[in-house]
Chain A
Amino acid sequence: MPILQSKCFSCHGEDVQEAEVRLDTLSIDFVNDRASVQTWQEALNALNKDEMPPEDGDPLTAKERQLLTNWIRGEIDRAVQMLKSTGGRVVMRRLNRTEYQNTMRDLLGLNMDYARDLPPEGLSPDGFRNNGQSLQMTSIQLEYYLAAARRGLDRIIKTGPAPKVFEHKFDKSNVNNWFNVEIANYLGRSQAFYGKMVDDYPEQGNYIVRVKASAKMAQGAGFPILEVSVGYRPDTKDLWEVTSSVEMTTEDSQVFEFTGRVENHPLPVRGQGKFPGLVVRVRNMYDDYTRKPKQQDVERDGKKQKGYPYEEHMPHIQVEEVEFIGPVFDQWPPALHRAILHESELSAQDEAAYMAEVLERFMSRAFRRPATNAEVMRMVGFYQSIRSEFPSLEDAAIETLAMVLISPQFLYLLEPDSSQKRKLNDYEIASRMSYFLWSTMPDQELLDLAADRRLSKPSVLEQQVTRMLEDERSWRFVNQFTDEWLKLDNINQIAINTDVYQGFNEALKTEMVMETRHFFRELLMEDLSALSLLDSNFAMLNENLARHYGVDGVLGREFRRVDLTDEKRGGLLGQASVLMLGSTGQDSHPIRRAVWLRDRILNDPPAPPPPDVPDLDESNPDFAKLTVREQLEVHRQKESCASCHRGIDPWGIAMEHFDAVGNYREMIRIRHNNEVGEREVVASDVLPDGNELDGMESLKDYLLSKKTDDFANSLVSRMTVYALGRNLELTDQELVDDLTKEFAKSGYKMQTLISEIIASSAFRSK
């Protein structure tokens, strides 16, 4: 480095060592010499802070400074990469929360919140939650795995006689005013119907709620949404748990059936004070998010009472009758019990032999491959060792099955015998495919194909990928991948300032995230070009989002394809979810948007801000009156900031026409103390390559004409990371290049990409 020689060594060289720092002999083996790296890091900090060279020294030109800092930064990053290397191999990976939840449900057949008490998962450096290295195991985690297994099995495996079945019918609510809600049969958004059961209700088991109701539609509004919830437990965070909801698409009187599990709802504690018992609540969830009317005197059935005026511009539901039955079961013990503890004469004759049968079947599903005889016999041994302690076969069986569910073969995707890199067997491939596309255990068809060793065949594989994507379970891939790739989760940490965005409803955030997921899924399922993520001539909208965007004629809560006339909206960048992520909740945040775009979309994240950067001199009171764009300009007058920010700011500034909630604007509101001013949006700036970006359309044009390779590389890299459950390393470059080439050749079809990833040797070897 001649710069070092000419500008640094005179004070930090052979003759003089200011501050005891000598650079000319300092090792540049960043990987192995940690002490030296530390010194280089300090040198970098000094350069960033403009402390070096000192005022009386020979100054660096902007270019020299950048060259030097980039070199040090780059070397350190490269060393860190090498140190983190797993040799391009997947580290044994634990099921994450979502996978655990799905797997337990699919394995046991019982819908329950198994992951309720598990601690939240850490993110991998790439932002994913399925990275073997990042997923830790802790004792508290294991403790809750055991508790969840027992909780689930206790609900499934039954001893004793069949329980009493309770049936209730209500044609009117049997409670008085609750929660400031008007009790009624005719339901708008401010009314509800409650049926309460004081003593005679089940504590466990499946239940059915039937609601007989008709609808009254309203001009220009969507369908009424009939929702059933069951609860309630006072003094807890969740008083109710929603069973489900349905759109009523005709006005005719019909019977709607809802099913759930009693234990999944917050239940009252019997005999505890003033609290009545189990309650079924029926509501109409349609809401156009306009301001709600205040409570007032209204006339009902000829009598005056407190209530909410009917809003006839909204759809209504007339409840005729609500029926509750529970617990419901086909026979006793119920089917889920029999699926595990099958009916057999053996159970009475020879418990050990019977349990061997039970365990062989159960373990082969839990381990996602045939359990070996030795494994089964060990568990039978455990069963026998505890059997005398427990009053019944069932009780001891629950313990034994619970043990299966805390064993490493269940909790981890185990791929043993791999001290050398090796090919995966068909069962292991089936698991990898299944956790990639379904976030759960392989189904019977995959396991059967694995047993026949046919899964490795390209034609079978292709056909399975298609089948798996068409299955509803592929939503889990879409949801997890889009959320983690695009960091959509973070939207929940943005607190929208409702002084600025009056009437903004938090519930819309969920729908914004849904839009992005639906959009991704539409491209995937229709096998459209993934470049549509950069720009598209359609959007996936429902009524609430369409209203938010000012698009007419979309009614109902289902998402559907809507052709766009407004060119600004197409693609991810026009979606409210993405725009809100890049905001402070009060205003747009161009830097955040720019960093997100460069990181997530172009896979070229800017270096993080160096530590201890001096703050801008913002003591000038006029500074706060500037638009963000103008503030950034002030920022860039400082050379140590400018070198990076020139390559960041323009990307975000181009999106300045969109505010924090994703609405289009021509004017920006500036708030300073209590003054509110308005300034015209300026969305133009020049990229380091000399191209000018001016507004959203020009940004998208630029991405499509100049950056499709970077984008394709980004999507391919991220999807590969997700599919493999590990970080990419230098040795994976060839893989990513090959995949990207094929991806481009296919016309950026994601189905092709998925098949190619699964067919790759990285996916099929350990």
Chain B
Amino acid sequence: MTKKSWHLDRRTFLLGTGVSMALPYMESMGANVNASELPKRMCAMYFPFGISLPKEGGDLHKWRWFPNGEGRDFTYNESSKPFEALREKVTIIGGMSHPNGRRMGGHDTGDTFLTAAMLDGKYLHNTVSVDQVAANAIGSDTRFSSITMSTDGGVGEPTRSSTLSYDDKGRPIPALNQPQMIFDRMFGAPDADLKARHRRLRSSSSMLDMVLEDSKSLRRRLGRQDQEKFDEYLASVRQIEQRVKRTQRWLDIPLPSLTDEERDVLKLEADDQAPKEFIRTMYDLIYLAFKTDSTRVATYQIASMADASSKAGPFPFREGFKANLHSLAHGWNKPEGAVALGEWDKFMNEQLAYFLQRLDSHKEGDGTLLDRTMVLHGSSNSTTHNNSNYPLVFAGGSGIGLQHGQFLKVADNVPMSNLFVTMLDCMGVDAPKFADSTGDLTAVRA
């Protein structure tokens, strides 16, 4: 590889920009970076309606999503076999759920997978999601504090939302769902004219200042309910103001470049018509975002509870199954249904395994990217409408304090928030408590 003009050492960086700031960790700088300086990352993926769970010991036993045995002494059933190759880097967690979720409707818990909130009352207000707690704490070290993706995009509606992430006020963060657009945000060629970009960023900054200033008198003239709405607008203005400031800091640092091979793998034209390709492309984007240290926090809602109107509803159909997601899930304990759903579970696990393998194939420090990336994948239903015993795959991060290779059965009085506390701690975030947590999940610790 030829030495690019930006192939500089850290010192030159600082001199060149004359700004003191947190620097991105870049593999391309080629330095032997101290392990303690290497990034810590986390991502979470979600799917609705649960998994196949036919009777234990029955004819269909092998289609049970959960493994057999317990602790380190366990065997995978059919649908989780894709994890066998990564056995020592994966933990399957059973028995866990959000206590608040158990008091909500069977189709209402998708929104709270990463928040543990109780959705009730006037506006079904949510609370901050675990990824955003991490993003708020460490996000300033990277170009993007986090990325939020889903198949449907946007925010959806309460209890049927199309995003996993909620900001510190509990407001949903819209998810991106077009691979090309996500790519362009992270790696796309910006305006060639750097000067013009600087000018516009500065003018954005003054614009936003002035909007905020003008808004004070306007806000006073609004009725109470309008004021609540208007505050949403003002909060958005403040947030982009911060983003503009952040962009200004990053403007002189070139966007990370990708290898030809990485570009070739990417199928940015993928859409919901070809689920496998689409899901893999979304995973590829997270992989690249992590690899280039564009962000350290990501969420991806693969499918949502809004069945009839969700683009992911017909995913199984488009992969040759006989039903859509929701109907398929209803078959979890039926003779033919459990097999079909089990095969779908396997499909989903294969995509996840693809992602884990990809993370694991990239060397970083003494280990791999996966070793410094926590991956959580699961559903807020074990079987349709059932809000307990979430099927959870928890992988990666053995370089940042975790230990795997087990089927961990957790008592149902241990809230899932305990896992979040552990994850935040591994991220280096000082957060001894999250939502309804009662402690730390020591069983996954190294």
Query: A residues touching B (Cβ–Cβ < 8 Å)?
Result: 34, 38, 41-42, 83-84, 86-87, 89, 91-94, 117, 119-125, 132-134, 136-143, 146, 150, 235-238, 378, 382, 385-386, 389-390, 395, 399, 402-403, 406-408, 411-412, 414-419, 487, 489-490, 493-495, 497, 584-586, 608, 611-613, 615, 618-619, 621, 624, 673, 766
Q: Would A121 and B154 count as touching, CB distance under 8 A?
A: yes
Interface status of B87 (Cβ within 8 A of chain A) = no
Q: Cα distance A406–B228 when bound, in Å?
A: 19
Select B269's contact among A94, A236, A395, A585, beta carbons within 8 Å: A236
Give the distance to chain A from B210, nearest Cβ to Cβ, in Å. 6
**Residues 218 to 276 of chain B near chain A (Cβ within 8 Å):** 218, 221-226, 228-230, 232-233, 235-237, 239-240, 243, 268-271
The 8 A CB mask of B33-47 against A (1 = contact, 0 = none) is 000000000000000
Asked if A619 contacts B203 (CB within 8 A), the reply is no
Measured between beta carbons, the chain A residues less than 8 angstroms from B173 are 138, 140
Segment of B9-17, B309-317, B389-397, B437-445 in the binding face? B309-317
Given known contacts A120-B153, A122-B157, A236-B268, A495 and B314 CB-to-CB distance under 8 angstroms: yes
- In terms of DSSP, what is the predominant structure of the interface of chain A? loop
What's the nearest-Cβ distance from chain A to residue B154, in Å? 4
Q: Are A119 and B174 in contact (CB under 8 A)?
A: yes
Select one of B200, B214, B232 contacting A137, CB under 8 A: B232
Q: Mark B159-196, 1 if CB is under 8 A from A, else 0.
A: 00010000000011111110011000000000000000
Contact stretch, chosen from B62-70, B323-331, B402-410:
B323-331
Interface string of B67-111 (1 = CB under 8 A from A): 000000000000000000000000000000000000101110000
User: Is A136 touching B171 in the complex (CB atoms < 8 A)?
Assistant: yes
Which of the four size classes fits the interface of chain B?
A: 35 or more
Stretch of B22-30, B333-341, B353-361, B422-430 contacting A (4+ beta carbons < 8 Å): B333-341
Asked if A91 and B226 make an inter-chain contact with CB atoms under 8 angstroms apart, the answer reads yes
- Given A119-B175, A584-B323: A386 and B181 within 8 A (CB)? no
Kindly list chain B residues whose C-beta atoms are within 8 Å of the C-beta of A417.
221
Q: 13 A–B contact pairs at CB < 8 A?
A: A87-B225, A92-B225, A92-B226, A119-B153, A136-B171, A137-B233, A235-B268, A237-B271, A402-B207, A418-B222, A419-B222, A487-B308, A619-B334
Say yes or no: A137-B236 contact (C-beta < 8 A), given A386-B206, A619-B334: yes
Min CB distance B202 to A, Å, is 6
Chain B residue with the shortest CB-CB distance to A92: B226
Report the nearest A residue to B330, measured CB to CB.
A615
How many angstroms from the CA of A523 to the CA of B190 in the assembled complex? 50
- Of the candidates B171, B211, B308, the one whose C-beta lies within 8 Å of that of A406 is B211
- Does chain A have a CB within 8 A of B349? no
Contact B155 A122 (CB under 8 A): yes
B121 at the interface (CB under 8 A from A): yes
Q: Which residues of chain A are within 8 angstroms of B337 by Cβ–Cβ distance? A: 618
Q: Which residues of A contact B323 (CB under 8 A)?
A: 584, 586
B375 to A: closest C-beta gap in Å: 24
Residue from A93, A390, A612, A766 in contact with B386 in the complex, judged by beta carbons closer than 8 Å? A612
Q: Provide the bound-state CA to CA distance between A673 and B327, in Å.
A: 17
Most chain B Cβ neighbours within 10 Å, of A89, A137, A390, A489: A137
Smallest distance from the beta carbon of B291 to chain A beta carbons, Å? 21
Give the 7 A-B residue pairs with the shortest CB-CB distance, closest first. A139-B239, A119-B154, A495-B317, A237-B269, A119-B174, A120-B154, A495-B314
Residues of A contacting B162 in the complex (Cβ-Cβ under 8 angstroms) = 120
Measured CB to CB, the nearest residue on chain B to A620 is B335
Task: Check A389–B203 contact: CB distance below 8 A.
Answer: yes
| Interface status of B199 (Cβ within 8 A of chain A) | yes
List B contacts of A407 (CB < 8 A).
211, 214
How many Å lie between the Cα of A179 and that of B235 in the bound state? 49
Residue picked from B155, B233, B317, most chain A C-beta under 10 Å: B233
Minimal Cβ-Cβ distance residue in A for B263? A235
Complex interface: chain A residues within 8 A of B204 (CB): 146
Question: With A382-B207, A403-B211, A406-B207 known to touch, is A585 a contact of B202 (CB < 8 Å)?
Answer: no
Q: Return chain B residues, CB-CB under 8 Å to A86.
A: 225
Cβ contact within 8 Å between B236 and A139: yes
